[in-house]
Structure 1
């Protein structure tokens, strides 16, 4: 809301100046109207920012906000930008040509006059809204508190269910049942089905028996093809335009090859699910297992009857209390058993009715309050607890939502746009919030940084779950629990903030909304949308992974500012939507219609984010660098060589923060563009670019955090990183040969120098043709390194490349993840106290490297180990390690 009010103040500034300069137009009446409207909105702002808005006032105001957005957006597009906060003479010089051009348009009225009717209409509505506030009344003066900082790395703890886990593990590993069998876990929503299943899959007995499980989240709007596609991706099967039958056949063959397998289908809703999916799950009498989690016992009964449905019990109050205290007071400093806070904590535990999700969300809410008896008691009294089961989660979710800062509420509701069960890319989500004007500007911080802080807060409040973390502890992927998502969708649609279309009948309800998210697959809405397209839709998010492509006439969406299209094949579409600010496509057909697509993008003068990472395309450099507003450009890269060249020196891309999937060839022969604000860069450098030119380019990257640079290793290894402005701030570096130059000539063995890499790296990825000497002593100097990946060429490596490596005592003190790929090593020595924090180790295609005998004793923090090998003696050694460390598991998440 604050962003909308700020836009209105901008409108007032511009119109006020127009009124002073355009005397022939006599816009005094319009000026007064907008002044009055702005004044009333300024008066209403405190009401709107209160956390507990009256329901009736919400309903009255919800229809006003889209009209305000439309008016402001239209006005800004037709008025010159960046006028406020300038000296009068500068303003006059900028505004005079614009005003003169308007006066010359005899056939149409000046811009402010064309908005006269809309302003008057909105003024009347605001006046009515003001009267309602007087009638309903409001309470002011409630205190707000800045929440305590929690550790973002620690996920909420879930305890209990030990006996249940043992029972389920016993069924999975039952050697007496060789047939493929289904274990169904049934329980109330929020009862811990998914959490328990993950704990089961992480048990050493299970991972040793089945290897890496195949985990599939099932949408409430289940379609078979979607599930098969997800399974294929999990199994690394190339999709390549397969139909349902061919895809199912490929999955069956892959599972047969895998041997004994474990597949998890999480959150199944439909009885016909097992009948449809079972034909693609081969039964080779090798003890394969399937886990189904569901809220519905009749769904569980439809699977095979080898094992009865396991009905998950609720936790008791003591177990709930333990979870609550662990999340709210992990250091046990504030809630000892005899304290008044402990007595209230017991009350909170009883409110949760034995549901793990309820206590996780409630503890996130309580953690926002001071450790104060009065505050906890006041929170307890604000909620009616005389309910059972699922209703208590809804109440807690509602209370958590109402306690969010106003700026975070709309960001939280925006999660309704994403299908249930989907992983949500955190960076993409933050960019969407920015493009939707949900983020309010602050001094000395980018909009993206503010958005990341909001997401961090939602995680710490346990309203969203982190699925994957980045190397530096920032969030990579999140997901929303299905029950919390149901709450978010309900609230978002109640306020007409986002309308979700998941079946054909929904389009009638969604067709007049400003933001529409389409969650369906094989259902045919093409004709309905094309015939009844709403020209005022601002945001259209299409998550259509079904077998039938969705073909839309985008030319009808003239006001579209955000477009996400996730569908496998759009076919021939009519392009349009010139006002786009955010464009993300996962489609085929761009490469075949490159010129048409390029001209479409060229016309987007307001484009901020272009995300084509999942859409194969050719060289788009002729078209995509036209917009002066670009902030994030993410292009397709298939692992060989990027096709699109970077922006020319003449491009106005000073706002650019992210640029991935580009190459440096001919485009920078005449100089470099201004990339001083780029924070993330992924670039491939053509052979023949001299070292001096590369260094001159890198000198212009003043704010770089994340760099992936690939090219001629013989040239790159001569670069001295100390000379660059980002030397002390770079956190992630990916460095090595360009894949397109892989086979000839082969990359030379890398010679590491003293202090070769920036000292504050937390992630380093080296793609090299081997090393001239042991790289570990030099790499151990990177004191903050948390993730290290070294990838070689296997048997193609230089014959002089080193074959022995040693991790020394006290080295890699912060390292948590180590990956060694395609390195023909023979010996690896691990000294005592080396890598004391290492949690994940993956060694792949490094034969004939033997498993170090000291591996289990000298890596005390190791949690996951993946070391696939075809040599039987090495397989036996890995199996022995799993037996020695029962809690150790193969990495599968």
Structure 2
């Protein structure tokens, strides 16, 4: 194992400490950090990369194939292989029977059923292909720790269940880019090592009430289920949850589920007629820890207006998306008081006028408006959003040129997309925003 186990930290926390150490030593360059400061993606310098690849190849640590190799012996000895061309099937004919890791950046995935010691299998494409997945290709891979697949669905349900039932030690199961994967067999939820599960959005009902979920940290893409009423699943270590609460499901019951989550840092919730008690996060035990929140009302109604108050949102929230929720006040007048907020996205709000006060949104870096069809006026007072870097306005047809746009002195990127009225004033916007390096009006 590359990352040692420490009692006081999760493996993910330990790995991030190691990565930050490499950054401090200038061996790794950060290409993207989240708004809470964690590293989302990184790279290394070209020269260091060439040296690392050569050394890894010499030590049979990893081999990178961007084309059919001239010497198949390098593949036959490698314990880890990354493939960047579509000839993976031929590659597997020469692969080391002791292969531990296979990452494919081009499709299709090969038949890996003979690679019995494989621990890491990844289809690194992030979208489903037109072709369904043949799980017979992965039969017998009982040692898998990490499995990421993408495809158009299942060829055979029996082979899928056989594959899942063979996973004795899996830690990460990422099917988020598999279309129509259906329900996971009940067995998988009781695997003691399971840490991260990502499923296609809302195609699965998720774990049953009897599931053993003590090690689970990520649960994404599941729907609520009535059987949770019998015995609420305990998720003591859950950090990331993406869930859809169906209209037939009791919101009171779902609130009880949230009452069991003490370490949640990221929550995405889709529902119907989202009630005020769910929006008000202060009552839940994760209130002190939540950093990223997405709330989506799947049946937005002008009549269902919520009373918005700043205390509803966790005190450390840095990323916030509100989709379809309607409020009885200008949402910006309340949200601007969230002193740690760095990213805000509003979708389908019905307000006609909005305003940002002087001193509001002190830490905001990115702001996005999408499909605000009724918004006509937006005023930015001097001193509002002092460090805003990116502003996106999309499908806001009635919006005129925002008053005070010139006060966004640190703005680096302005995107205006499918905004009919703003497009008519493109020259005026460019004249006001001469200080902005990148402007897109489309």
TM-score by length of 1: 0.46
Contact 1:755–1:778 under 8 Å retained in 2: no
**Residue 460 (1) aligns with residue 20 (2):** no
**Residue 565 (1) aligns with residue 114 (2):** no
- The separation in 2 between residues aligned to 1:770 and 1:719, in whole angstroms, is 11
Name the SS of the counterpart of 1:866 in structure 2: strand
- The equivalent position to 1:722 in structure 2, one of 271, 274, 282, is 282
Contact 2:332–2:355 under 8 Å retained in 1: yes
**Residue 812 (1) aligns with residue 361 (2):** yes
- The equivalent position to 2:317 in structure 1, one of 761, 773, 776, is 761
- The equivalent position to 2:405 in structure 1, one of 842, 850, 855, is 855
Contact 1:709–1:735 under 8 Å retained in 2: yes
- The separation in 2 between residues aligned to 1:528 and 1:879, in whole angstroms, is 53
- The separation in 1 between residues aligned to 2:243 and 2:185, in whole angstroms, is 18
- CA deviations over 1:215-236 (Å, ceiling 9, x no partner): xxxxxxxxxxxxxxxxxxxxxx
Please state how far the C-alpha of 1:808 moved relative to its aligned partner: 1.1
- The equivalent position to 1:551 in structure 2, one of 110, 123, 130, is 110
The equivalent residue for 2:328 is 772
Over 3 Å counting, the alpha-carbon distance change for 1:831 and 1:675 in structure 2 is same
Name the SS of the counterpart of 1:890 in structure 2: strand
Over 3 Å counting, the alpha-carbon distance change for 1:571 and 1:676 in structure 2 is closer
- CA deviations over 1:793-815 (Å, ceiling 9, x no partner): 6xxxxxxx421111111111111
Name the SS of the counterpart of 1:707 in structure 2: strand
- The equivalent position to 1:830 in structure 2, one of 380, 393, 397, is 380
The equivalent residue for 1:733 is 293
Please state how far the C-alpha of 1:594 moved relative to its aligned partner: 3.9
Please state how far the C-alpha of 1:852 moved relative to its aligned partner: 1.9
The gaps in structure 1 that reach 5 residues or longer are 1-436, 794-800
Please report the RMSD computed on the Cα atoms of aligned residues, expressed in angstroms. Answer: 2.4
The equivalent residue for 1:840 is 390
**Residue 712 (1) aligns with residue 272 (2):** yes
The equivalent residue for 1:752 is 308
- The separation in 1 between residues aligned to 2:12 and 2:384, in whole angstroms, is 38
Contact 2:226–2:249 under 8 Å retained in 1: no
Structure with more of its chain in helix, by fraction? 1
Name the SS of the counterpart of 2:176 in structure 1: coil
Please state how far the C-alpha of 1:769 moved relative to its aligned partner: 4.5
Q: Which has the higher contact order (CA 8 A, sep 6+)?
A: 1
- The separation in 2 between residues aligned to 1:500 and 1:712, in whole angstroms, is 47
Over 3 Å counting, the alpha-carbon distance change for 1:474 and 1:597 in structure 2 is same
**Residue 604 (1) aligns with residue 155 (2):** no
- The equivalent position to 1:703 in structure 2, one of 263, 266, 280, is 263
- The separation in 1 between residues aligned to 2:302 and 2:175, in whole angstroms, is 31
Higher Rg of the two aligned structures:
1
Please state how far the C-alpha of 1:650 moved relative to its aligned partner: 1.4
Over 3 Å counting, the alpha-carbon distance change for 1:559 and 1:501 in structure 2 is same
Over 3 Å counting, the alpha-carbon distance change for 1:575 and 1:679 in structure 2 is same
Contact 1:691–1:716 under 8 Å retained in 2: no
The equivalent residue for 1:677 is 237
- The separation in 2 between residues aligned to 1:594 and 1:833, in whole angstroms, is 59
Contact 2:75–2:96 under 8 Å retained in 1: no
- CA deviations over 1:732-780 (Å, ceiling 9, x no partner): 1111224xx57xx788344313511112211111112443321122212
- The equivalent position to 1:513 in structure 2, one of 64, 78, 81, is 78
**Residue 890 (1) aligns with residue 433 (2):** no
Over 3 Å counting, the alpha-carbon distance change for 1:771 and 1:486 in structure 2 is same
Please state how far the C-alpha of 1:651 moved relative to its aligned partner: 1.3
Over 3 Å counting, the alpha-carbon distance change for 1:440 and 1:647 in structure 2 is same
The equivalent residue for 1:879 is 430
Contact 2:149–2:177 under 8 Å retained in 1: yes
**Residue 443 (1) aligns with residue 7 (2):** yes
- The equivalent position to 2:47 in structure 1, one of 470, 483, 489, is 483
- CA deviations over 1:39-62 (Å, ceiling 9, x no partner): xxxxxxxxxxxxxxxxxxxxxxxx
- The separation in 1 between residues aligned to 2:388 and 2:84, in whole angstroms, is 41
- CA deviations over 1:243-268 (Å, ceiling 9, x no partner): xxxxxxxxxxxxxxxxxxxxxxxxxx
- The separation in 2 between residues aligned to 1:622 and 1:757, in whole angstroms, is 36
Please state how far the C-alpha of 1:583 moved relative to its aligned partner: 0.5
Please state how far the C-alpha of 1:631 moved relative to its aligned partner: 0.5
Over 3 Å counting, the alpha-carbon distance change for 1:589 and 1:533 in structure 2 is farther
Name the SS of the counterpart of 2:431 in structure 1: helix
- The separation in 1 between residues aligned to 2:348 and 2:71, in whole angstroms, is 52
Structure with more of its chain in strand, by fraction? 2
**Residue 803 (1) aligns with residue 352 (2):** yes
Over 3 Å counting, the alpha-carbon distance change for 1:855 and 1:685 in structure 2 is same
Contact 1:500–1:518 under 8 Å retained in 2: yes
Correspondence list, 1:522-671, <5 A: 523=87, 525-527=88-90, 529-530=92-93, 532=94, 534-545=96-107, 549-552=108-111, 554-566=112-124, 568=129, 569=131, 572=134, 573-576=136-139, 577-586=141-150, 588-623=151-186, 624-637=188-201, 642-671=202-231
The equivalent residue for 1:305 is none
Name the SS of the counterpart of 1:476 in structure 2: strand
- The separation in 1 between residues aligned to 2:172 and 2:229, in whole angstroms, is 26
Contact 1:730–1:760 under 8 Å retained in 2: yes
- CA deviations over 1:515-539 (Å, ceiling 9, x no partner): 2222322x4x525624x55432222
Please state how far the C-alpha of 1:859 moved relative to its aligned partner: 1.6
The gaps in structure 2 that reach 5 residues or longer are none
Count matched residues: 430
- The separation in 1 between residues aligned to 2:148 and 2:276, in whole angstroms, is 33
- CA deviations over 1:467-516 (Å, ceiling 9, x no partner): 22212122222233433221111111112211233414343322233222
The equivalent residue for 1:411 is none
Over 3 Å counting, the alpha-carbon distance change for 1:534 and 1:754 in structure 2 is closer
